[in-house]
Amino acid sequence: MPFRALMEELNSLADEKYRDFQLKLIKDPDVRMLGVRTPALRKIAKRYRTEEDMIELLSYPDDLYEIRFITLAVIAEWPYEYFHKALMYSLNLIDNWALCDSFSPKCLKDHQGEFLYDIIVLVSSGEEFYERFALVTLLKFYMTEEYLDTIFVLCECAHTDMKNVQTGVAWLLSEVAATYYDRCKQYFLTSNLDEKTYSLAIRKCCESLRLTAVQKTELKDVKSKWQFVKKSEKSST
């Protein structure tokens, strides 16, 4: 599809109120968005099936949220070998949490072990959306008992001074708590997270509909114990 025809279609699907709502959530003045809803963007992405289609798509200007979303949605359908070759290109298209969290490469379902090294590298990168992508990928594809220790270590390696990384860690840990409550509770007792990230993670757990009232009370008690230990450690140094 020629770029002009695609832009005409996107403009015809644009919803100004939806755009304004999304921009308020994203909170980034540099994001350019028309306001096309996600189901429509995914439907358009399905048209780009051949190599020639993808070459054409990659030739389009990519300064618009919707074009980036469509490109990432197409790459997310690729086999692992092709996705992996396009990994850095894909990540460099991501400049906000909405794009980041929607990018979910299906091939990773069968390649967790292979891709784990890339996740470790990304979490150590110091690049905000590289790290958030890695954390969200752990949440989507690595939520098994086998990877729990890895998840806990990587949460503490992440650069949580960056907001989107901090919220990514908190979201990931709240999902761990909902799936493996006892293991996560034990982790919270001895965690080396910074206090802001720790508090946000506990808060996300307490907001979860998947945890019981009793579990939420227990986690608040764990937080109090953790804070007391941390203050005692500081006073003794």
Percentage of residues of the chain with pLDDT beyond 70: 99
**Which residues does 211 contact at the CB level (< 8 Å), separation at least 6?**
177, 178, 181, 205, 219
pLDDT (0 to 100) of residue 50: 86
**pLDDT averaged over the chain?**
95
pLDDT (0 to 100) of residue 88: 96
- Segment among 8-22, 28-42, 44-58, 133-147 with least mean pLDDT: 44-58
What is the per-residue pLDDT across 120-150, written as a single tens digit (0 to 9) for each?
Answer: 999 999 999 999 999 999 999 999 999 999 9
Angle, CA 39 vertex, CA 37 and CA 40 arms, to 5°: 70
pLDDT value at 237 more than 80: no
Q: What is the DSSP string of 167-232?
A: HHHHHHHHHHHHHSHHHHHHHHHH----HHHHHHHHHHHHH-TTS-HHHHHHHHHHHHHHHHHHHH
Amino acid at residue number 125: S
- Segment among 43-47, 82-86, 231-235 with least mean pLDDT: 231-235
Which residue in this structure is represented by tokens 């990168």?
125
pTM value is 0.94
The better pLDDT of the pair 1, 200 is held by 200
pLDDT value at 101 more than 70: yes
Q: Residues 103, 89: contact at Cβ < 8 Å? A: no
Averaged over 7-22, what is the pLDDT? 96
pLDDT value at 97 more than 70: yes
What is the per-residue pLDDT across 49-58, written as a single tens digit (0 to 9) for each?
Answer: 888 888 899 8
